Structures are given as C-alpha cells and as structure tokens.
Amino acid sequence: MYARFLQHPWIVRIVPVSILLLLGLLWGGVPSIAKYVIATGVHPLSYSFWILSIAASVLITINFVSGRRLPPRRHIFFYVVCGVSGSALPTTIMYYAVSWIPAGLMALLIAVAPIFTYLSGMVVKVEKYHPLKTLGLLLAFIGMLLILMPESVAQMKAPVWAILLGLLTPALYAVNIVYAALRRPHSLHTLDLSVAMIIAAAVTMLGVNVLFAPFFQLWNAEPLIALLVLYHGVLTAIAFSLFYYLIKISGALFSSQVAYSATIFGILIGAYAHDEVLPLFVWLATVAMFAAIWFIQRARQLTEESQPRNQ
C-alpha cells in the first residue's frame, strides 16, 4: 500500500520539486548565516573548519547507519584534491567575501558555477561547442558588468575586489567538477566521494586553522552562535545527501535547477535577515545570469541528445 502510494503520478512529480525547493532554501540561507556569524568575530578559517567537521561527522554517521563502509583509502590523493578545491577553499573564500558584500549577491555569484564549469571544460577540451553556450557566456559577461557598475557597487557598499573574490567560489566549484569528471575512479560511489572529500576538507582546514587563525572554541560560544554553526554544518551534510538523491531520481539536468532556487531564496533571506536592498542593475544581472545558465544547460542537453545512442 505504502509502495503504491509512493509510485502515484502526483507523488512522483511533487517529490523532486519539493526537494529542489528545500535545497534552494537550505543553500540559499548559507551566505546569510555565514555573514551573521562572522560579523560576531568568528574567523572565516575557524568557521570553515567547524562547518566541514560537523558535516563530515553527520555524513559518516549516515554511512554507518546505512551499512556502508568508509571510502577506500587507495584514492586518498583524489579525495584531498577534491576536498580542497571543492569544499575547503571555495567555502572559506565565500566566508571572507560575504563579510564584505551582501549575502544575496553572494548567493547569485555562487549560482554562476555552471558557467565556469563550461569555461573549465573548454580549456581541457571536454565541452562540446554549441552557439547557445556562446550566447550564455555573453549574457553572463553582461550580468557581471551590471553588477560591477559604479552605481551598483556604491549602493551595495561592496568593494570591487570583494565581489571578484566571491567569484572565486563558483570558479573553484567548476574546477572541482571538471577534475572529478576526468580523474574520478570508475568504481568510486558518489556517496563515498562526498564523504571522503568532506573528511579531507575538514582535516585540511584543521591544519590551516591551527597555523593561521585563532581557534574558535565552539563549546564556549554564545548559544545562538553555537546553534547557527551546528545548524549550518548539519544542513550542509543533509543538503549533500538530498542533492545526490535528487540526481538519482530526477537526473542531473533537473537537479541543476537548484541554482535558480538557491539564488532566489538567498536574495530573499538576505533581504529579511540583513535588510539588504539590491540595486536595479543587480536584479537585471540576475535575469541575465539565469538566462546564461539556462542557455548553457540547454546546449548541453542538445549536444548530449545529438550523440548516437550506442556511444
């Protein structure tokens, strides 16, 4: 009876959309949480360490409960590269940048990762050319020009260097995606990769934090700050798991639309939590960026569909 209920057409349609919106809410709120916590004096390096450590602990627990073993140790170099380029470095940069720029703008910058993925793919010649991809790049460039307009920068009180720093986050995400696609061992399960890269990132950030920043004692923090850090770490692990589940049930193309929902929620949460009012040029840039992402994703779909079935 329960299995038949889950297979009902209405349920099959509503579950992926619900997960997509939930992921947008979870990821969209991250810049606002980070902005608030770091403003209280928590160093970005310490914040990054705690978020990754908590997320790693939750994912290890999920693995243990589900009966899975820890990822094989023979791929440790791959884990470290993915952990640093896909988690430790981009998230830490985001925490630095969001202390200078609006959280809603940071959410928009993160969403352009598919554009950087295309550029990275072109460099290593794994992306197929399509005119729509060129149009997408043009729109993305226009979007960045709108964000960097003197009027936009002045109204947001966001230094240009901090905006450009924020762009390194999606750029590193893209590099990580391309690297993982090229070097990932065929036998490595996606869940194993996510667990291993989070563990590698947490261990890396522990060393960096000890060497270069005052260590934040979470157990001595104010209750609200401690709860926000714990919440952020747990939601990171949950969002990872939900995203991979969404890919499993709906495919990568549908799942990639989380970029839209995360941006919209990020802007709304930033407006509510920090009284942010983004300039008109940034809203126009958001439309341009969304169009750019759509064109690139549509071009990918078309180039994949044009390939012979037996390949």
Residue extents of the structural domains in the chain: 28-305
Alpha helices in 29-66 (DSSP H): 30-39, 44-65
Q: What is the largest CA-CA distance in the chain?
A: 61
Question: Residue 308 has which token pair?
Answer: 């012979």
What is the number of other CB atoms lying within 10 angstroms of the CB of residue 168? 17
pLDDT, averaged in runs of 10, over the chain (311 residues):
48 78 91 94 94 92 78 83 91 95 94 84 77 89 92 91 94 87 77 84 92 89 94 90 80 77 92 90 92 86 56 38
Q: Got the DSSP string for 151-175? A: HHHHHHT--HHHHHHHHHHHHHHHH
pLDDT for the residue numbered 14: 84
pLDDT for the residue 95: 95
- The per-residue DSSP string of 234-275 comes to HHHHHHHHHHHHHHHHH-HHHHTTHHHHHHHHHHHHHHHHH-
Structure tokens at 130: 């399509």
Tell me, what's the pLDDT at 7? 54
Specify the pLDDT at position 306. 46
Q: Tell me which DSSP letter residue 7 carries.
A: T
- Distance between CA atoms of residues 207 and 158, nearest Å: 31
